[in-house]
A = this chain, B = another copy of it.
């Protein structure tokens, strides 16, 4: 019954009219948690919200004032479909921090990097095409690939990110099956949800494999500048001009502007601009102009340092709490970003456990959200970016209570079973 409305009920007189792709839509596990997050007594380790409170609001006000005085009426008018030229030039400099050489001509501003990924997917994915993705992979990307009725093939990842050997095996197997592999999608730095970073030595290998097999690489990098101590390896895009690179201001500034960007090879970029014009006419000039002025006048690199400090402290709090309350559980140890990826004791299903956790006033995201194939039951994602360090500890202590109770129950049943 709970799913009936999302699939259409007897009351939906248009049930026979929907397109084939509409049937892939379902309420995501992350979305269902939004209602929970809003209850103040619950410590939410679920949603991936940046801590925008650490951004001084006067920086926003200054950017607004400069935007209105410099751009005036142009800041509230339609703009070109590719996005603001000045902001694209600033994005070029931003990407240079991760080793990328680019031209403003090849940059397209988008409504968050999510829409960049959506538009690129629309350009490439026919029904039943294959997308290769990390296992686990970003839930929002999985949703888009499903929307285009693609098959998502997860490639095994470890603490150094995607495994080149596993990628090679997957490509060989799928090609032998006659499947069309359109692209490899990956979040190389502090991945969502795993928190791991693709090792430098693996990057060239992966690019080489994809190049040889005619597979486009989509590099999604919203977290790269949010390292804790050591800079991330240079972007894949810096080593191969055929990589499509997706960037975002959501994590290094604020997500409410919905501004991201795509760097793409010229032929693809041309189609991307046309697809964008078809979908939304143009990205918001008001938001773009604000961000351009922010980059012009604020100490935005200092602000990123501030964010880094905030997230490092919270990551430390999360790992300390894990060591104290759940010492036997395996977790990733991220060098940046927002997430811990935790493996539960055998036999515990993170999705089934969630209601019990919410009863104990803590929320997380079940591992199954990050796989297109129903696996991930024994995993869960903790997002430490938004709650205070104190609340992170309280949350993980509550989570430990739930997990320990589940473990005891399982042990009791197991012993009972042996009698």
Show the binding face of A for B, using Cβ within 8 Å. 5-6, 8-9, 11-15, 17-22, 25-28, 31, 34, 47, 49-50, 52-53, 55, 57, 60-61, 64, 68, 72-73, 75-81, 111-112, 114-115, 118, 122-126, 129, 140, 143-144, 146-148, 182, 214, 216, 242, 250, 254-258, 265-268, 270-271, 274-275, 277-287, 289-290
Contact = CB atoms under 8 A, between A and B. Distances in A.
A124 B78 contact: no
Contact of A242 (B13, B26, B61, B81): B13
Nearest to A253: B76
A118 B277 CA distance: 11
Contacts of A57: 68, 72-73
19 contacts: A6-B274, A11-B267, A14-B124, A14-B265, A17-B216, A19-B126, A19-B148, A21-B122, A22-B271, A26-B274, A57-B73, A64-B64, A78-B256, A114-B281, A143-B277, A144-B278, A147-B275, A256-B285, A256-B286
A14 B120 CA distance: 12
A139 B111 CA distance: 22
A104 B250 CA distance: 28
Interface SS of chain A: helix, strand, loop or mixed?
A: helix
Contacts of A76: 52, 55, 60, 254-257
Given A19-B122, A214-B17, A278-B147, A78 B255 contact: yes
A270 B11 CA distance: 13
B147 A25 contact: no
Contacts of A14: 124, 216, 265, 267-268
Contact of A281 (B8, B60, B112, B242): B112
Given A57-B68, A78-B49, A78-B256, A18 B118 contact: no
A285 to B, nearest CB: 4
A197 to B, nearest CB: 23
A258 B216 CA distance: 31
A275 B24 CA distance: 10
A359 B284 CA distance: 32
A267 B114 contact: no
B77 A5 contact: no
Contacts of A278: 25, 118, 140, 143-144, 146-147
Contacts of A144: 278-279
Contacts of A75: 256
A196 to B, nearest CB: 23
Nearest to A22: B123
B280 A18 contact: no
Contact of A77 (B26, B254, B280): B254
A284 B284 contact: yes
A124 B283 contact: no
A5 B267 contact: yes
B257 A286 contact: yes
Given A17-B214, A268-B14, A77 B61 contact: no
A61 B266 CA distance: 39
Contacts of A118: 278-280
A19 B354 CA distance: 39
B274 A27 contact: yes
A5 B17 CA distance: 36
A53 B76 CA distance: 10
Given A118-B278, A274-B27, A278-B118, A34 B80 contact: yes
B256 A284 contact: yes
Most buried by B among A268, A283, A289: A268
Contacts of A148: 19
